[in-house]
């Protein structure tokens, strides 16, 4: 199972500034990665930058200018890592950020992005484990508003919800 998360410059009207994913491997270990997204036309558009969002995710414009990668580079990386797979996200905004990133890069995603409900709709999910995981996931792996950690947060919720001995489901396109 794969989980994906974006951080953005603002809510509606903003743009993606970081994307991360976490892959739950068959042995239930997790592998995560993230990249900052630098697109000068976005960064020059100050009305699309919300300083409150910056306070939440702790990514400032200067950091993006220094360490961010182009939308083309980030989309190529995502396609290399996730080709043919389906990732799950916990916000419809993540789908909007992916569309904006892909459109800006001029690269079609080679992977799917679905609502997180897909992850918890398989035969491997233990309903009691799911309810228990809902209550402890924030203590086990709290959300940080950084893309890799927040995708790990979702992956942890999934792993805690699995039936004992159940295989990790991989959703293909």
Prediction pTM value? 0.94
Element (H, E) at 30: strand 30-36
pLDDT score for 8: 94
What stretches in the chain show pLDDT beneath 50?
Answer: none
Q: In what order do the strands lie in the sheet with 112-115?
A: 30-36, 16-24, 2-8, 86-89, 112-115
CA distance 125 to 57: 31
CA distance 51 to 33: 25
pLDDT score for 134: 87
Domains delineated in the chain: 2-161 (3.30.420.10)
pLDDT score for 125: 96
Distance of CA 37 to the CA centre of its chain: 13
């Amino acid at each position: 199972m794969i989980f994906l998360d974006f951080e953005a410059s603002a809510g509606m009207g903003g743009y993606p500034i970081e994307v991360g994913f976490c892959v739950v491997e068959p042995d239930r270990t997790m592998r995560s990665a993230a990249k900052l997204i630098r697109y000068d036309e976005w960064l020059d558009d100050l009305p699309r930058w919300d300083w409150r969002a910056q306070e939440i995710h702790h990514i400032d414009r200067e950091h993006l200018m220094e360490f961010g990668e182009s939308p083309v580079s980030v989309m190529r990386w995502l396609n290399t890592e996730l080709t043919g797979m389906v990732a799950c996200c916990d916000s419809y905004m993540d789908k909007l950020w992916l569309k904006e990133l892909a459109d800006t890069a001029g690269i079609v995603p080679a992977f799917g992005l679905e609502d997180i409900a897909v992850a918890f709709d398989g035969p491997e999910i233990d309903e009691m484990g799911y309810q228990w995981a809902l209550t402890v996931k924030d203590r086990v792996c709290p959300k940080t508003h950084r893309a890799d950690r927040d995708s790990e947060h979702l992956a942890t919720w999934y792993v805690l919800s699995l039936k004992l001995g159940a295989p990790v489901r991989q959703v293909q396109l």
